[in-house]
Structure 1
Amino acid sequence: NRVDVDEGDLIAELASDPETMVIGSYIEGLGDGRKFIEASSMAVAAGKPVVVFKTGRNRQSAQASVSHTGAYGGSYEVYEGVMRQHGIVLADSFHELYASCEALALQPPARGNRAAMLSNGAGPMVNALDHFPRAGLELVTLGRDSVKAMRGHFSFFYIVENPVDVTGSATAADYEYVIKTLMDDAAVDIIMPFFVFQDTPLDESIVERLDALSALRAKPIVCCAAGGEYTERMSDALRKAGIPVYPDVARWVAAASALSQWGRTIRNHGK
C-alpha cells in the first residue's frame, strides 16, 4: 500500500478537481503528516470539506497498522488536535465517514452546534441525545416566540419544547409548520427531524414540503428514519430531493456534527 502515492497526493489532486465537492479519507497512519495537512488545508481553502476517519487509536491497533500500511498510527490525541486546528472534519467509523460526506455534499454548513429535534416517535431522539456530547452538539432551548407559536398552533398534548414531539398523529403539514418555526428561530443552527413514515397521518407530501424548505438553504436539515420497504422508499425520495436521511441515530448525529464542524471551519478560516 502507498508505494508511490499517499493520502496527501490524493487530497491535493482532489482539491483542484471541479467535480469533487467533499473529500473523505480513511487513514491508519501517515508517512508524511506535513504533506497531508498541507493538502487538506489546500482543499479547505478551496471550500471543500475534508472528512477523516482515523484508526490505530490504541497500542494494539496502531501496531497492526504498521503491518498493513507501513505507517505507525501514533497518538490519536495529537492527530485529533492537529486536524481540528486545520479545519478537518472528524468521523469515528466508516458509517459516520460516509454519512458526514453525504450531509456535507447535500446541505449548507451550520452556523453553530445548536440542534433542534422533532419527531412523531420520541424514543430515537432520546437515544440520539446520548451521542450529542461526543459529537459536540447542543440541544438548544427554543426561543419563547417559537414555543408560543407552536403551543397556540397544536393540541395541548403535543410537546413543543426541544425535542419537539408532534406525536403519532402528526401530518406532513405539522412537520412543515415546526420546521418553518425552527428556521425562524435564531437560537437554532441545525434541524433534525425523525420520521416514523408508517404512521398513517403522515403522507407522502412530506417529500415535497421538505424539498421546498430545504431549497431555502437557510439551515441544514438532517433526517433519520428506520423501518421497512416503505420507509426506505420515502428515504430515497428525500435523498433525491437533496435531503440526507439516515437509518440509525449514530449516523444521524454524526452528519449533524459534520455540518457543525464545517461551519466552524468556515468561520475560523474565513471561507
Structure 2
Amino acid sequence: IAILTQSGTFGIALLEKFAKEGVGVSKFVSYGNKADVNEVDLLRYLERDNETNVIAIYAEDLRREFFENIGKKTVVILKTGRSKLGQKAASLHTGAMASSYEIFKGVCRQKNIIFADDFTELFGILKILAVNNLPRGKKLVIITNGAGPSVLACDFIEDKRNIELVGNVVDLTGSATAKDFLKAIEEKEADIILLTFVFQDAPLAESLEELYEGLKKIRKFCMAISMGGNFVEKQKKILFELGIPVFEEPHTAVKALDKVIEYAMRK
C-alpha cells in the first residue's frame, strides 16, 4: 500500500498502525500544500509502480485532473474539509480550496474510488484490501462462539445495502473448539465469512494451533471480530498472516466491508 497525505499526522498514524498489524507499505509521501509536487504527479508515478497495489490518500482538496488520471489500481481516499468549519480549517492548513463533498462522493462512485468517512474506517478498508482478494458477492455468514459482538454487527448490517446476511448467526456457543469453527466454515456457502472469536474461552484457547492449521487450507473470503487485550492482539497478528483481518469494533468491520463490497461490485 502506498500512502499519500497532506497531513503528516495522519500519515505517521497510518505507518504506526500498519507496522503494528503487519501491513506492507510500498511508498510514503507527505506532500502538504503541494509546493513542489501534487497528487496528480504522485498518482501518475504510483500507477506505474510495480510495488504498489493500493493507493491510500488523505486529502484536503483534489483537483479535477486527479480524477482524470485514475487508472487500474485501487484508490482509497479520506477527504476532509467537508463542512464550512472544516473548509476554513483546511484553507488555513494547506491553502485548500472549498469544494462540495457530495460532488466529491459522486465523482468517486463514477471512477470507482473508495472514500472513507473517517480515519478508523480508512484503516479498516486498507486492512481488508491488504490481505484479501475482493469478495465475489455480498452474501455474508456470521459464525461465532460468543454472540454479543455478532448481534451488534447485525444491527449495523441491517442498513448496509451492499451486505446481505444469509440465515441466522451460527452460534457455536462458548464450548466451541477449533474443529467446530472449521466445520462450520466448510459447510456454509457465502461470499464472506465473518468470524466472531472469543479467544478467551477455554475450548477455543486450547485448540488454537488446530484452528490456525485448518484456516491455512480455507479458500474463502474471511474476516474476524475479536475483543480483548494482549492475548487477543497476539491472535490478530497470526490471523492477519493467514489473510484474515481482525477488527475489534463490529461497526468498523461492517462499514469497511460495505465500502469494499461496493468497490468490488463496480469493478
- Aligned AA for 1:228? G
How big is the shift at 1:37? 0.9
Q: Does 1:26 align with 2:58?
A: yes
After TM superposition, the structure 1 = structure 2 runs for residues 172-187 of structure 1, keeping only pairs within 5 Å, are: 172-182=178-188, 185=189
Q: Secondary structure at the match of 2:203?
A: coil
Tell me how far 1:174 sits from its aligned partner.
1.2
> Given the alignment, which residue of 138, 152, 176 partners 1:113?
138
| TM-score (normalised: structure 2) | 0.80
Q: Tell me the CA shift for residue 262 of structure 1.
A: 2.8
Classify the secondary structure of the residue corresponding to 1:19.
coil
Q: CA deviation at 1:179?
A: 1.3
Residue 156 (structure 1) aligns with: none
Corresponding position of 1:263: 264
Choose from 109, 119, 124 the match for 1:94: 119
2:212 alignment counterpart: 207
From the superposition, tell whether residues 120 and 137 of structure 1 become closer, same or farther in structure 2 (CA, over 3 Å).
farther
The answer for the alignment partner of 1:146 in structure 2 is none
How does 1:73-152 map onto structure 2 within 5 Å? 73-132=98-157, 135-142=160-167
Matched with 1:157 is none
Higher strand share: 2
CA separation in 2, counterparts of 1:136 and 1:73? 30
Q: Which amino acid aligns with 1:131?
A: F
Count of aligned residue pairs for this structure pair: 232
| 1:99 CA displacement | 1.8
- Structure 2 unaligned regions, length at least 5: 1-32
Q: What letter corresponds to residue 27 of structure 1 in structure 2?
A: A
Q: Normalising by the residue count of structure 1, what TM-score does the alignment of the two structures yield?
A: 0.79
Regions of 4+ moved over 3 Å:
133-137
Partner of 1:36: 66
- Determine the structure 2 residue equivalent to 1:165: 171
Higher relative contact order (CA closer than 8 Å, sequence separation 6+):
1
Q: Distance in 1 between matches of 2:192 and 2:81?
A: 31
Could you report, residue by residue, the CA deviation over 1:26-78 in whole angstroms, capped at 9, with x for unpaired residues? 11222x2x222123x21xx2xx2111112222221122111112122421111
Distance 2:138 2:108 in 1: 19
Q: Return the letter of the residue paired with 1:263.
A: A
Q: Does 1:68 align with 2:93?
A: yes
The match for 1:57 is 82
CA RMSD of aligned residues (A): 1.8
- Conserved? CA contact 1:110–1:262, under 8 Å: no
Residue segments in structure 1 that go unaligned for 5+ positions in a row: 143-160, 267-271
Quote how far apart the aligned CAs of 1:237 are: 0.8
Distance in 1 between residues matched to 2:46 and 2:236, nearest whole Å: 29
- Aligned-partner residue type, residue 141 of structure 1: V
Please give the alpha-carbon distance, in whole angstroms, between the structure 1 residues aligned to 2:103 and 2:164.
29
Distance 1:52 1:98, change over 3 A: same
Task: State the percentage of identical aligned residues.
Answer: 38
